[in-house]
Amino acid sequence: MDFFEQQHRARRNTTLMVFLFVLAVAAIVLSVNLVAAATWLALAHDTMLSRRASLLGQVPAPVYWSGTLAALGAIAGGSLYRIIELSKGGVAVARMVGARWVKRNSEDQLERRLLNIVEEMAIASGITVPAVFVMDEEQGINAFASGYSPNEAAVTVTRGALEQLNRDELQGVIGHEFSHILNGDMRLNVRLLGVIAGIVLIGSVGRFLMNMGWGGDSDDNRRGGSVRFFLLGLALWLIGWIGVFFGRVIKAAVSREREYLADAASVQFTRNPEGIGGALYKIGRTSGAISNRYAEELSHMYFSASVGKAFLSLLDTHPPIEDRIKRVLGDRGLLFIRSQAKKAGADAAGEGVPEDAVLAAAGDALAAAPAVMGVEWGQRAGDGGITTSSGAVMASVGRPTTLHMDYARRMLQELPESVRQAIGSADGVQAVLLALLVAGGGDARDTQAAMIKRSAGEAVAAQTLALAQALKPLGESGRLPVLDLAIPALRERSQPERKQLLALVKDLIEADRRVSVFEFVLITICRHQFDGEVKGGTPVKYRSVQSVSNQIAIVVSLLIHAGRSRPDRFDGTMTRLGLAGQKLRQPAELGYKEVEAALYELKLLAPLAKPALIKACLAVVMPEGKLSIVQAELMRAICAALDTPLPPILDTLAEETTQ
């Protein structure tokens, strides 16, 4: 199942979620009406009732209507409140559980290790680096990813995961979470939070009324009213368990199989099954439990079970730990880690070593075991271009490999210290972004420096020029990874600050009265990242490429002119897409606004319609299996605008995907 099929499956699961939600609402409304009817009957005088008719049939219709409207209002209100609360995406979920944002300049060694792993995986995946959070009060081993799209995601881990897992194990856990990020699972998870908030609200109202009744007045005349409040609250609290039950059913229905898929994706990502296997084993021996009050509500999002097992195994949001380990390592792998734990325990028995240390030793031995698959490290092509195939590139979408991880690791190692420090500071990260745009010299460079000085101040201008020199050794291929590293800090800035920065970026681009391909790439990614707020993800508006033929013609024309390709490739490409009759746009017709508008509409394509478009774009830029770094950057910008994570295009990619 490729990336686009996973996206389609995630949306299909949304349909299942809605169906189960409707069943839950119906059950709750029916139960509330029964309570409303019983309350009316309890208060009714004998003279109001007839012994010849059924009791429920004598309840006035307004009572049922009131019960129905009250239940629907509570469910809708609870869901709407939570959806609005989480509308800002992944960061909002992390903050809801009280997690702390880990800044890039953190001096904590465990946090720096976590940041490094997340940065490596983000660069390897072709997405901007997610915001990283830590739940300091949680000692269980757990983690979750949240957000509506890969480019505004957040990754949250517990303090227990930081302290008890070695690097390979933590990398396995983060690889699992990146699978959820890349496959669209996060969007479904966040929407599920909104749905469940509504159906469990009735129980919360019941608890409130029970508390009112329990603390009622001691006066005899008022005690009866307090008892009624308590009994009504008790009934609503019991009804609330219907919401909890259906919440578990919904979460279990959409999450269990995804956990197996994410485990497998982590192994493919890291080529180290022992990493995630060791993490799962430690969780099985200790715990992944969460004490936070949102543990049940977010149980479907965590790496492992955050609450106790359900009374029915079918309601568990996660598969059994042993089953997950067997799928990752096989029976022999499970026996191996058990033997390592026993050996470590026997060696430590006479020395009084705590069990946590024994488990850590077992995990370290596991990480030191030989990997089941080896790989040759790939090399990035030089200025002559990149040699690969469109099939290999398509296979890498949402499926980064060890080659991509190695590339990301080398990029981070080669990053100049001055750039690394600048990305970790509020003013410095702005200078890094501007440095990516500063021209190599001449009048344009002086003009740009003057613009920066007027808009951001002399200190930022001086730092920008210094960073521009520091970035030169990275070459063209290092520009996008630096941008990916800078984006999270830039997104922390307020909306007015982001608008001001985008305006300055636009002015710098126009300083030399031309727009290079990289400048187009940079401003496209920046606009996609922080020009506006997250509003619940991207809807599907178009089901086929035929619905957006004009927009596709604009993008294909852009690729033809940017890559200096033969104009006749346009007709062939459009014909293969079933869009014959479109005309090649001339450069004068390809202004930034026109291209931006086209990309926005193409973003609304259904997941299964996007592969044909991306394949067509690749056929234009690499007809002989070669493309330049500039063309690769342009493809990255187009894919980013389509919410399609494209890893760095490596010249050994075709060889690796055939292994």
Residue of 656, 659, 558, 645 whose CA lies nearest to 607: 645
Element (H, E) at 654: helix 653-657
Which whole-number Å values give the CA distances from 132 to 88, 114, 187, 389, 488, in the listed order? 16, 8, 18, 34, 9
Give the side-chain half-sphere CA count within 13 A for 38. Answer: 11
Are 556 and 620 contacting, i.e. CB atoms less than 8 angstroms apart? yes
Q: Write the CA distances from 392 to 167, 236, 384, 398, 590, integer angstroms.
A: 29, 56, 19, 12, 29
Q: How far apart are CA 131 and CA 128, in angstroms?
A: 9
Rounded to an integer, what distance in angstroms lies between the CA atom of residue 340 and that of residue 368? 11
Output the CA torsion 151→156→162→165 (10° steps): -80
Measuring CA to CA, which residue among 636, 562, 631, 560 is closest to residue 599? 636
Q: Please identify which of the residues 152, 169, 177, 633 carries the catalytic annotation.
A: 177
Report yes or no: 112 and 146 within 8 Å, Cβ to Cβ: no
Expressed in angstroms, the distance from the first to the final Cα of the chain is 18
Quote the tokens at residue 163: 């302290």
CB atoms inside a 10 Å sphere around CB 555: 24
Which CB contacts under 8 angstroms, 24+ apart, belong to 472-475?
A: 473/414, 473/416, 474/411, 474/414, 474/415, 474/416, 475/383
- 296 counts as catalytic: no
Which residues are part of the catalytic machinery? 177
